[in-house]
A and B are shown apart, each in its own frame.
Chain A
Amino acid sequence: MIRTVVTAAEETVNPLLSAPYDIIWSAVVFVVALLLFWKFALPKMQNLLDERAAAIEGGIKKAEEAQAEAAAALEKNNAELARAREEAAEIREKARANAASLEIELKEQANEEAARIVTNAQARIESERSAAASQLRHEVGTLALDLSEKVVGESMSDERASGIVDRFLADLETQEAGR
């Protein structure tokens, strides 16, 4: 400590007088430092600051883009959702309409079917009835013929017999119609 103090004291005997080496080495120090800052440190620093600014700007831009993209996607999704809802509503509506028309159709079909069945039945009844009637007529004719044969005791020719039967039956019918 004392030694440093002493040397320091010696060095600063008269601080206002400057030795040439003092000036020269100070100038060297200054020049070296100036070159360091001027040519090296500060340009690097400037580059860094520019790069950082660019990076930040880029980052902000990217974020904005991402946000815009997200917003667009959301809008698209919403639109799709709305469309899907509309479609669903349409389908539901259509289904309801279909069901209604189907019901009407089925009813009509059923009615038709019923009508057809009724008609068929009537036709069958009619044909049965007419068949029965003609058979009856035939049997009645035969019976009457047999009976009259037995009564008359002689056989009549077929031609004549059927002519007689027919006339008889026609008479019967006219009698019935007359009653």
Chain B
Amino acid sequence: MRLIALLALVLIFWLGTRRLRLIPGRGQSLVEMGLGFVRTNIAVELLGEKDGKRFLPLLTTIFFVVLFSNLTGVIPGLNIAGTSVIGLPLVLAVVAYVAFMYAGIKKNPGGFFRNALLPKGVPWPLYIILTPIEFISTFILRPITLTLRLMMNMFVGHIMLVLFFSATHFFFLSAPGAMKLIGVGSLGMGFAFTLFELMVSALQAYVFAVLTAVYIQLALAEDH
């Protein structure tokens, strides 16, 4: 699935950006819209012009890899999202983790860890509790939450679709008499959830990319 998604992604963006023209055609407008969305709404908005540009390749890759892998969940014949097994979300979460650690350490190692572990404006005794909490939340939980949020969203979506479609199958073909009618309802639900999955796919891709950007932003921030 992921390889198919990757193939689609490579084809679309390779062909889509191979011959760019000043005055865009329809296809080019779509590709530009996609890339422009990540550029302005995620990278530049959160990281600013300069750092946004620096991390743009990473954020774009995360966004589109997640999006395309998510969409395999609603494509007939593929039917399961590439992100609903743990491998891809984990890899991407590790990448995001490495990215914000790299950003913070390169910018100002002392400041990065002090900001993360010893937040300002707190009476010092509180650091006894606060620092371990911050440590766990920043350096341990972030990649885990990134991974699980994405994977579970897609996994559950997949389960829902399996449930509704297998129920429909059962009701239409195996259920006796009037029970067949229930199949109509379950098919409708499956249909609705397919559309819902489309939205979730885009939303989770957005969330993943935005969170990565936010982590990088926090790592780059002087104080907070």
- Are B80 and A15 in contact, with the CB atoms below 8 A? no
Q: Which of B35-62 contact A (CB under 8 A)?
A: 35, 39, 56-58, 60-61
- Are A41 and B3 in contact, with the CB atoms below 8 A? no
Q: Mark B75-111, 1 if CB is under 8 A from A, else 0.
A: 0010110101111101110010000000000000000
- Are B158 and A12 in contact, with the CB atoms below 8 A? yes
Cβ of B30 to closest chain A Cβ, rounded Å: 13
Q: Determine if B126 is an interface residue (Cβ-Cβ < 8 Å).
A: no
Main SS class of interface, B: helix
A25 in complex: contacting residue of B3, B80, B92, B151, CB < 8 Å: B3
Cβ of A138 to closest chain B Cβ, rounded Å: 121
**B-side interface size class:** 35 or more
**A-side interface size class:** 35 or more
Cα distance A27–B2 in the bound complex, in angstroms: 11
Q: Determine if B140 is an interface residue (Cβ-Cβ < 8 Å).
A: no
Q: Mark A37-59, 1 if CB is under 8 A from B, else 0.
A: 11011101101100110010000
- Are B86 and A18 in contact, with the CB atoms below 8 A? yes
- Are A5 and B84 in contact, with the CB atoms below 8 A? no
Q: Determine if A152 is an interface residue (Cβ-Cβ < 8 Å).
A: no
| Contact surface of B with A, Cβ cutoff 8 Å | 2-3, 5-6, 9-10, 13-14, 16-18, 20-22, 32, 35, 39, 56-58, 60-61, 64-65, 69, 77, 79-80, 82, 84-88, 90-92, 95, 151, 155, 158, 162, 165-166, 169
